[in-house]
Amino acid sequence: MKTKSYTIIKVTIFFLLNTTITFSQTAVAPSGSGASGDPYQIDSLANLYWITQNSGSWDSYFRQTSNIDASSSSGWDSGQGFSTIGNSVTLFGGTYDGDGHTISGLYISRSGTSGIGMFGFVQGATIKNLGLAGENITGANYVGSLVGYTHNSTEISNSHSAGIVNGDGYAGGLVGYNENSTVSESYSTASVSGVDGVGGLVGGNHSAAVSNSYAAGSVSGSNTGSSDVGGLVGDNILSTISNSYSTGSVSGSDQRAGGLVGYNATSTVSNSYSTGSVSGGSFIGGLIGFGFTSTVNSSFWDTQTSGQSTDGTNAGGGTGETTLDMKLQSTFSDSGWDFTTPVWAISSGINNGYPYLVSVTDISLAVQATGFLATTDMNSVTLSWKTQSEVDNAGFNVLREDPGSSFLKPISNYIDNTALRGLGTMSTGRAYSFIDDHVASGSTYRYEIQSVSTHATTEDLFALSVTVGVPSEYALYQNYPNPFNPSTTIRFDLKEQSNVTLDVYNVLGQSVFEDNYGNMNAGRYNEAVNMERFASGVYFYRITAVGDDGQKFVSIKKLELMK
């Protein structure tokens, strides 16, 4: 007879069969002094939360040192989620360098509050090299994934977003309202909805500049009467847009909707284009919805994919081209676009054949992925996600952090698992899934999906945590395989911690085998039994489980050993 000892482990539940759970926030002061030569080192969600609670540090220097899973923020503050860094009273004026890292799953739901984003109100700030993935951001006015409201020479560069943004006035995939500031070498694939001033990258661009940037998510005016809806910028006033493009669909319910810009007033658009479908009420254009004393230089829209053969009223000079011509370098180089430095490049296998920005588009990691979900039962976790398009995508790796561990380790890869192999280069994408059946009931695991290009470069796409379910009742299942020789597996469920014994009897009712498993935590178990020393025939196995409260569970089933 052998005895096994087990330790009860208390775990924090993140996701359990669609159950809503309230999370507590913990502020942990980061290392560093916040000086330019010794910035605060941000490597955890607890560090991020510390920033929100220490407004006195908002003029300091910050450097993110690792990817951060912020999915648990959905349970913060009675469901309102993350609290913005910078508000209308104390603005963020420091420098935040993401250092190429990503924050995934950030959640904010503050429909009655304006200036909503990871950063709320910022002034004279620098935010760079930071990515957001799977974020879900909701606010009133001035709502963006990264920043709600920028002004006074704020600089945002080399940053991106890929989630969902909902707002009223001035909602943008990356920035809600950009005043007297710059956004450069950045992009957003976020889906954005709002009422007025809604843009795929920037909602309102006033006395500001957007350059070398793009947007690829859908943009919609969510209410009747919504206006100024654009694939890149919703409302562009006294501003410039250069070397930029948009490819997402644009839907405005009332007036002024454009593939690139909804409303363009006393502004200049140059060396830019749009390809997304455009629909709405009045003042609809393939490139610009409505223009007022503005200039459009060397800029184009796709007349076929946009569904718009003409540009909007007073749009200012955009040129409509067929899809074939929009994929010819000469269409753009003849108009003065820079393909030699280069700012722009074009390839049939990248960006669906349209021009792309060399400084922004990672041609080896152009995988537009959404909808990372985890579902669980008592003995497995199923991960699922979708790609909207793929460029040079070899496939995906799956990484897992086990309970009690502090690091991720690979558990499956596209080389060994054909289900994880990518499509190479495709404009349509597909759905992917992976089942992890090496998990324990009641335990929490953290997963990350990693994209691998055909050039062997990698990018972390998604991360989230999930807790495996616990049985609600005791149960004993049929062994498998059955018949067997000489080993089989016996599966049973424990609804609570119990002392468990396995007994095996022959047809005469004589005990031939006994195994005392000792105290076992609640969960589903698969125990191997070897009957090599027994003769062929029919046997019966019995599980006896006695809970801590004295409740006793007994169940018997038949098995057959066939040699």
Give 126's strand partners.
95, 155
pLDDT score recorded for residue 442: 81
Tell me, what DSSP letter sits at residue 25? P
Structure tokens at 198: 């809604």
pLDDT at res. 361: 62
CA torsion sign, 224 to 229 to 216 to 459? Answer: negative
pLDDT, position 8 = 31
Q: Classify burial at 2, counting beta carbons within 10 Å of its beta carbon; exposed 0-12, middle 13-18, buried 19 or more.
A: exposed
Q: Which residues contact 273 (CB under 8 A, 6 or more apart)?
A: 245, 260, 287, 299, 300, 301, 302, 326, 332, 354, 355
Q: Are 122 and 147 in contact (CB under 8 A)?
A: yes
pLDDT of residue 257: 95
What the block records as the tokens of 46 is 């607890």
The encoded tokens of residue 16 equal 């359990």
Q: What pLDDT sits at residue 406?
A: 77
Q: Looking at the whole model, is its pTM more than 0.75?
A: no
Please give the backbone phi and psi of residue 299, each rounded to the nearest 5 degrees, phi first: -130, 150
| pLDDT of 427 | 66
Residue where the block lists tokens 């722009």: 344
What is the enclosing helix (H) or strand (E) of 51?
helix 45-52
Q: Terminal CA-to-CA distance of the chain, rounded, Å?
A: 25
**Do 119 and 145 meet the contact criterion of CB atoms below 8 Å apart?**
no
Domains within the chain, CATH numbers bracketed = 40-357 (2.160.20.110), 366-467 (2.60.40.10), 475-561 (2.60.40.2550)
Query: Cα-atom radius of gyration of the chain, to the nearest Å?
Result: 28
pLDDT at position 194 is 94
Distance, CA of 49 to chain centre? 19
Written as tens digits, the pLDDT of the chain (563 aa) is 333 333 333 333 333 333 434 456 889 999 999 999 999 999 999 999 999 999 999 999 999 999 999 999 999 999 999 999 999 999 999 999 999 899 999 999 999 999 999 999 999 999 999 999 889 999 999 999 999 999 999 999 999 998 899 999 999 999 999 999 999 999 998 999 999 999 999 999 999 999 999 999 899 997 666 789 999 999 999 999 999 999 999 998 778 999 999 999 999 999 999 999 999 889 999 999 999 999 999 999 999 999 999 999 999 889 999 999 999 999 999 999 999 888 998 887 678 789 999 888 654 445 777 778 888 877 789 999 988 777 778 899 999 999 888 788 899 999 889 999 988 877 677 899 999 988 888 888 999 998 887 666 677 777 888 888 888 889 999 999 999 999 999 999 888 889 999 999 999 999 999 999 999 888 888 899 999 999 999 999 999 999 988 889 999 999 999 98
Token pair for residue 69?
Answer: 């899973």
**By three-state DSSP, how is residue 47 classified?**
helix
Annotate 66-102 with DSSP letters as a single string: S-EE-GGGGGSGGGTBPPPBS-SSS-B-SEEEEEEEE
DSSP 109: E
Specify the 3-state DSSP secondary structure of 29: coil
Q: Which residue type, as a one-letter code, is found at position 25?
A: Q
Strand-strand pairing, 458-467 and 421-426: unpaired
